[in-house]
Amino acid sequence: MENQLIRKEGNNYFSLWYFERYMATTETLFFKEHLTKGEQWETTSHGNKILYSVTDKRDTLLLGTLYKNVVMIRGDIYFEEKPWLTTYHGYAEGIGEIYNFKPSPESRRYVDVELNLLKHSQE
């Protein structure tokens, strides 16, 4: 699955997610601004629940580049109402996604992890 920002509505950010299993794309609410640590929201994609949680908020985060106002998000994806996959994302204000961690859904083993540190410059 791959997500890409397609629109912002108020404090909500939406993306198109493509799921190979369904060979289809759906619009999904993947990020909300101005939430505090511990807050959650739920959305659905192809009839499956995705529960997002704010796991951390930081004034700064160093990942090769110093990012300001970073929000860390955990996404728990359910397939047929059972836990299926957990992803982790980091978003920096004014930049967007700077980090994502997605275990391979096929094996669910961390040896098949997709880890992306997205390079951005921040003045």
Instruction: Let me know if residue 123 belongs to a domain.
Output: no
For residue 25, with 0-12 CB atoms within 10 Å meaning exposed, 13-18 middle and 19 or more buried, which class applies? middle
pLDDT of residue 39: 93
- Kindly report the CA angle at 32 between 28 and 33, in degrees rounded to 5? 155
Query: Quick one: average pLDDT of 81-95?
Result: 86
pLDDT of residue 113: 46
Domain count of the fold of the chain:
1
Instruction: Let me know if residue 58 belongs to a domain.
Output: yes
Q: CA 74 → CA 2, 33, 60, distances in Å?
A: 16, 15, 18
Residue 58 near residue 37, CB atoms below 8 Å: no
| Residues 6 or more apart in contact with residue 77 via CB below 8 angstroms | 48, 49, 50, 83, 84, 85, 86, 87
Instruction: Let me know if residue 122 belongs to a domain.
Output: no
- Kindly report the CA angle at 104 between 103 and 106, in degrees rounded to 5? 140
For residue 4, give the nearest of 22, 18, 16 by alpha carbon: 16
pLDDT of residue 111: 47
Instruction: Let me know if residue 28 belongs to a domain.
Output: yes
DSSP state for residue 34 in the 8-state scheme: S
Residue numbers of the domain that contains 73: 2-117
Give the model confidence (pLDDT) of 16-75 as tens digits.
765 555 556 677 778 888 889 999 999 887 778 889 999 999 999 988 889 999 999 999
- Distance CA(121)–CA(73), nearest Å, equals 21
